[in-house]
Structure 1
Amino acid sequence: MSDNFWADKYPAGIPTEINPDQFPNIQAVFRQACEQFADKPAFTNLGRTITYGELYQLSAAFAAYLQKHTDLKPGDRIAVQMPNVLQYPIVVFGAMRAGLVVVNTNPLYTAREMEHQFNDSGAKALVCLANMAHLAEQVVPKTGIRHVVITEVGDMLPALKRLLVNTVVKHVKKMVPPFRIPGAVKLNDALAKGAGQMVTEASPDSGDVAVLQYTGGTTGVAKGAMLTHRNLVANMLQAKALMASGMGEGNEIIVAPLPLYHIYAFTFHCMAMMITGNHNLLITNPRDLPAMVKDLSKFRFTGFVGLNTLFVALCNNEDFQKLDFSGLKLTLSGGMALQLATAELWQKVTGSPICEGYGMTETSPVASVNPPQNIQIGTIGIPAPSTLCKVIDDEGKDLGIGAVGELCVKGPQVMKGYWQRPEATDEVLDAEGWLRTGDIAIIQEDGFMRIVDRKKDMILVSGFNVYPNELEDVLVTLPGVVQVAAVGIPDDKSGEAIKVFIAAKPGVTLTKEQVIEHMRANVTGYKVPRYVEFRESLPTTNVGKILRRELRDEELKKLGKK
């Protein structure tokens, strides 16, 4: 398939190319946005709004603190472990202005997961919410982290409200277990120390790493995808170009319920919406639907970024159904497959069609999107500007239009590689810059693409990648376990649910409750299996490799899906 195939596949108004070198780095975009939209609201959370001008000042204070009061140097890694609160963009942009590499960290991680990520990334600093500081207390001594900054949920609120919110979270809701981390600094103290001090603005090269975003990639243990300044600048320009017909500049209000530490929300809300000067409404806990709907009722929001499970939950909420959707111009879906029934229900309730897109951590993440002016439900749209796609067979041969094969992506948003893992990088990224996604797809004659299946055994739970290897490695540490396999089975709510198969030692009796308790102690909540089945033995190949696919096929047959 020739590169020219894509030239005439874009609707009027969407360019086929962007210039990824328009800005030398993220700092340049940030500075321009904060000057151009200084008086415009940037982020709102818990009733407080900060403008782009305030974001610039607060991030400068944090950058100055890092430069004047720590020994951190440009290129050092800083782990950021927070939910959607105002502190998140302040810390991330402050760290970048000081030249540090951001390591996004899931606040729900267990101590084991934190330890792996912090050591693998070589993080020297950590900014975390007080709610998980008790885990940091256990983990930090086992890592190279030398600087810890702690923040509480309400730290960016006015004094009286801050005291009230933090007191309720800590003492009434009991959400902050006791901790003691010697030398830890409170974020507000750090901001006070840095306020008004001169910042030596970092000016990294476009090819320098800006973010280490951890993922299992297409296989194996969690790896850090090296996303450069050029990768992220390209993806924000690509997202802006794709959304141009649906979104303006400086006047949109975008609902941000997905976690900013996840690459989908990170790039869209902290990057693409910044370059357009729009207003992000941060939802700290989207699982608390009543509180979320109450927040939404205060704004005539014009954009909504979500995924299938959240759309379903909201549409079945009576109070959500009563909201004013007259301003809603654009709804984006990603992270997991959008079901047709969900798209129809959302449009019925809100009047807004959903634009489904596709991406991976390794593509910063946007690789393709349904243009707002030409949506094809059931497809992942067309490639982002300056992006090429193809499908290949197992030997790497281009299969062309209408064929089923592994989807490959090439463009300026494709990662530099996996952090300190050249062999893993070579498995997915070739010399020409083509990334093998591990997803099986079809490219239609009109340029729209459909995902058929996943090549690897990765399980996708509510938009989050779950890797069977990791679950199995944890399960075999449970006394009595001999064989184990983890598979994903279709689930209406979460896309896929995790089922584990376990064979125990003769004479050993295990219960589902023991398995679940063991998993909860070692992995994040979404990785805990929903189903557990005990067997005398599991199917294996001649060399003893457990046949996950066979087990999954059995489950599909039971469900009448195979």
Structure 2
Amino acid sequence: MLTVDMVRAGARRHRDRMAIRYGDRSLTFRQVDEAANRMANVLLGMGVEPGERVGLLLGNGLWTVPLDFACLKARACRVPLNARLSAEEHARMLADAGVRTLVHESSLTGRADELRERLDGLRTLGLGDLLEQTHAASAADPRLPARPDDVILALYTSGTTGTLKAAQHTQASYAAIVANIMANLVSPAPDDVMLHAAPLIHASGTFVLPFWLRGAQAAVLDGFDPQAYLAAIPEHGVTHANLVPTMLQMLLAAGGATAETGRLRSVIYGASPMPRPVIEEAMAAWGPIFTQYYGQTEAPLCLSVLPAADHVGPDAPLGSCGHPSVDAEIRLVDEHGADVPDGEPGEIAVRAPFAMAGYLNAPELNATTFLGDGWLRTRDVARFDDRGYLYLVDRTSDMIVSGAYNVYPREVEDALHSHPAVAECAVVGAPDERWVEAVVAFVVPRPGVTVTGAELTAHVRARLAGYKVPKRVEFVAAIPKSGVGKVLRRALRDPLWAGVERTGGDR
């Protein structure tokens, strides 16, 4: 079954059940499908051709899912843009993808106008105008023939390495993403409700089709506000939630430990490292309902899973990201692509049906990313323990080489997080005359708590080798993050290296 067939199957099976709830408005499966058909016919009438890339500049809303489905039915490739990015970043992405049509919401009309002026031949279409045109459009499914290798999504990654790149997913690979979620993370029932507050263009959106196929609901919020999110859980009868660690921290700080959780029985988290104190506090408050996944844009959603059962007990491997998912093969390799010895850290390589087809317009990057025979490099360093649990060590691009030693920021951050005064932290490498790179920690203290850099370095020294101890601790008000909550170490690291000549590739 291809991705577009999944859309049709869900609509056919569940017709008059509620599919999407947004504020006090809702759409049934039949209404979503009919709206998608009409939008698809409008796009086709405008001259959008099969395989053409269509830019989408809009946030979460009532019509986000129908528009995604419309692109599928028009055989268009979606190019979603994170509204939080700059005009320069948007322009580069649209130009790189060769987008000729950009659909945008009314609040982003100014940005769309600016992009139209920057890019020759770009046509912009307001979402309101698109909806107006659907009144005269056919409600019949255009039924264009689809192929497994049709590229349906070109998703630009959050840019932690600073390299512009879009992972491409096909009809077949995205359908495999849906199957991966249902096999490893959640098996929805018709009365289930998934709450979406993170942007639907990222991980949260991958849960839409699994719930759609089973006749379950998507409750959509504009964005993430802790109080509104906590209120939405009992209000919408939410049974499943998907959070990044930063969101969970904010919910607990906003009174989530004592909030009414109603029917909530599963919280899925991932995208960035989860501080152990946070997950322990969350489980004490909400119970053992947490499941962790590890994945990336190039191979979503989960390469490995730490299920709820593995979160409890004296030997619970909370620092792990679990065992490989049932539909993924994982190897740990060295820089030459050869397997590393058992117990040693190595770069994760994956082979799975949900892996991307390749980066858009990036033959050199694709050549270094794919190992052959279907294996994909992830640029994440990890190790397996003797029970087969996978432990992430760090991104290869974030590794600090201090003297002759490799320092993985994640390990130092975990040590800092274990100090009760640390709310958030990030570790990067700074230029150093003696060691080439020195470990520097950026720390956000907990409110009302006083701590010194010397105390924190002593805390780390008691837990890690001396060369891993931060040479400097900088206290900051916030740690920079991407639109999906990932720590942007590059934003902290680059100012430290301004004007310093470096070797060793893009960092």
Q: TM-score range by the shorter chain?
A: 0.7 to 0.9
Deviation track 1:323-366 (CA, whole Å, cap 9, x = no partner) reads 33242221111110112111111112222432111111110332
2:477 maps to what in 1? none
Change (3 A) 1:144 1:431: farther
Classify the secondary structure of the residue corresponding to 2:144.
coil
2:198 is aligned to 258
2:289 pairs with 353, 363, 369, which one?
353
In structure 1, the residue matched to 2:123 is 147
Q: Quote the offset at 1:207 in angstroms.
A: 1.4
Match for residue 66 of structure 1?
Answer: 43
Task: Give the distance between the partners of 1:138 and 1:493, measured in 2 at CA.
Answer: 40
Partners of 1:99 and 1:366 in 2: how far apart?
A: 26
Give the drift of 1:142.
Answer: 2.9
The residue aligned with 1:554 is none
Unaligned stretches of 5+ residues in structure 2: 312-316, 400-408, 411-425, 429-436, 447-479
Structure-2 residue corresponding to 1:89:
65
Q: Distance in 2 between matches of 1:238 and 1:66?
A: 31
> Could you tell me the percent identity over the aligned residues?
21
In the TM superposition, residue 139 of structure 1 has moved relative to its aligned partner by 1.1
Corresponding position: 1:188 with 2:131: yes
Instruction: Say if 1:139 and 1:200 are closer, same or farther in 2 by CA, change over 3 A.
Output: same
Which residue identity lines up with residue 426 of structure 1 in the other structure? A
Which of 375, 378, 381 is 1:434 aligned to?
Answer: 375
1:128-167 mapped onto 2 (5 Å cutoff): 128-143=104-119, 146-151=122-127
Aligned: 1:47 with 2:28: no
Q: For the residues of structure 2 that align with 1:440 and 1:297, how far apart are their CA atoms?
A: 39
Residue correspondence of structure 1 range 365-384 to structure 2 within 5 A: 365-375=301-311, 376-384=317-325
Superposed CA RMSD: 3.4
Counterpart in 2 of 1:108?
Answer: 84
1:214-233 aligned at under 5 Å gives the runs: 214-215=156-157, 219-233=161-175
Q: Which of 202, 221, 229 is the aligned partner of 1:292? A: 229
**1:417: Cα distance to partner?**
0.6
Amino acid in structure 1 at the alignment position of 2:94: F
- For 1:33 and 1:334, how far apart are their aligned partners in 2? 27
Q: 1: distance between equivalents of 2:336 and 2:492?
A: 36
Aligned to 1:387: 328
User: In the alignment, which of 395, 399, 402 is matched to residue 343 of structure 2?
Assistant: 402
- Post-superposition Cα deviations, 1:406-455, rounded to whole Å, max 9, x if no partner, equal 11111111111111211110111122111111111012333321101211
* Cα 1:420/1:350, change in 2 over 3 Å: same
After TM superposition, the structure 1 = structure 2 runs for residues 123-522 of structure 1, keeping only pairs within 5 Å, are 123-143=99-119, 146-151=122-127, 186-194=129-137, 196-215=138-157, 219-244=161-186, 247-262=187-202, 264-268=203-207, 270-286=208-224, 288-318=225-255, 320-375=256-311, 376-457=317-398, 489=441, 491=443
1:57 to partner: Cα distance: 1.0
SS in 2 for 1:193: coil
2-structure distance, mates of 1:415, 1:537: 34
Deviation (angstroms), 1:233: 0.6
Alpha-carbon displacement from aligned partner over 1:156-207 (angstroms, at most 9, x marks no partner): xxxxxxxxxxxxxxxxxxxxxxxxxxxxxx132122232x443422232111
Unaligned stretches of 5+ residues in structure 1: 1-22, 153-185, 461-465, 469-484, 495-518, 550-562
- SS where residue 132 of structure 2 aligns? helix
**Aligned partners of 1:146, 1:72: CA distance in 2, in Å?**
13
**TM-aligned CA distance change 1:331 to 1:491, over 3 Å:** farther
Q: Number of aligned residue pairs: give it.
A: 434
Q: Is the 8 A contact 1:209 1:229 kept in 2?
A: yes
Letter of the structure 1 residue corresponding to residue 177 of structure 2: N
1:6-85 aligned at under 5 Å gives the runs 23=1, 25-68=2-45, 70-85=46-61
User: Is 1:115–1:143's contact at 8 Å kept on the other side of the alignment?
Assistant: yes
What amino acid is aligned across from residue 67 of structure 1 in structure 2? Answer: L
Distance in 1 of aligned mates of 2:366 and 2:506: 25
Closer, same or farther: CA 208–330 of 1 in aligned 2, 3 Å? same
Query: For structure 1, which segment, 215-224 or 136-145, has the greater mean C-alpha deviation from structure 2 after superposition?
Result: 215-224
Retained in 1: the 8 A contact 2:37–2:142? no
Letter in 2 for 1:378: G
Task: After TM superposition, give the deviation of residue 116 of structure 1 in Å.
Answer: 0.5
